[in-house]
Chain A
Amino acid sequence: AQKITQTQPGMFVQEKEAVTLDCTYDTSDQSYGLFWYKQPSSGEMIFLIYQGSYDEQNATEGRYSLNFQKARKSANLVISASQLGDSAMYFCAMSRYGNNRLAFGKGNQVVVIP
């Protein structure tokens, strides 16, 4: 079974500052993928970034980067230069490699303030 843990309470972030969202996971799989999704109040889940378990380099996508520490089973998301439009729920998820089934964490609420 796969388990994702996101325990941070809601966060307020100053515009233009960086924010780190914590995610730890547990799995017995050797090959897996880690994902971060953004869910604004409209409800749609927006894919942000992906990290494969065998990728040696941390993934980056624009202002998003994933700090992957395999031994610690953590996959933290870093958002640089926060914007007002970044206010949303952020979900960490994982899947077994070769499988589209995603297991999600409970999410982190982020509010960016001007």
Chain B
Amino acid sequence: KAGVTQTPRYLIKTRGQQVTLSCSPISGHRSVSWYQQTPGQGLQFLFEYFSETQRNKGNFPGRFSGRQFSNSRSEMNVSTLELGDSALYLCASSLSGYSYEQYFGPGTRLTVT
């Protein structure tokens, strides 16, 4: 069974640009969560999508948005990039609305210059 895949793996953008990251969950999984990991703030929850609906949202500005498609694949978008958005973005998938096992992807390393 294929694991969680994230594309692209690495990305370099300039301040002010926007970026879209993609996450394909494990087949059959309906929940996708996104996390931002930085050395200073650690791992912070961005949002969760379940069956194409946003179920949870963390404390991030509106520049961070996401969506989920009918095949459970999810995208997150960051508009008007700032230097502080440089981070490892991880997505996690789980089978149901609540599962003690969430499987993480390898992450997308975003660098904003």
Contact = CB atoms under 8 A, between A and B. Distances in A.
Interface stretch (A12-20, A42-50, A63-71): A42-50
Q: Report, as a range, how many residues of chain B touch the other chain.
A: 20 to 34
A105 B101 CA distance: 18
Interface in A63-114: 91, 93, 97-107
Contacts of B22: none
Interface in B17-34: 31, 33
B45 A43 contact: no
A contact face: mostly helix, strand, loop, or mixed: loop
A45 B35 CA distance: 11
Contact of A100 (B42, B44, B48): B48
Contact of A47 (B33, B98, B102): B102
Main secondary structure of the interface of B (DSSP, over half): strand
A91 B43 CA distance: 9
B64 interface: no
Nearest to B98: A98
Contacts of B56: 99-101
Interface of B: 31, 33, 35, 42-45, 48, 50, 55-56, 58, 88, 90, 92, 94, 97-107, 109
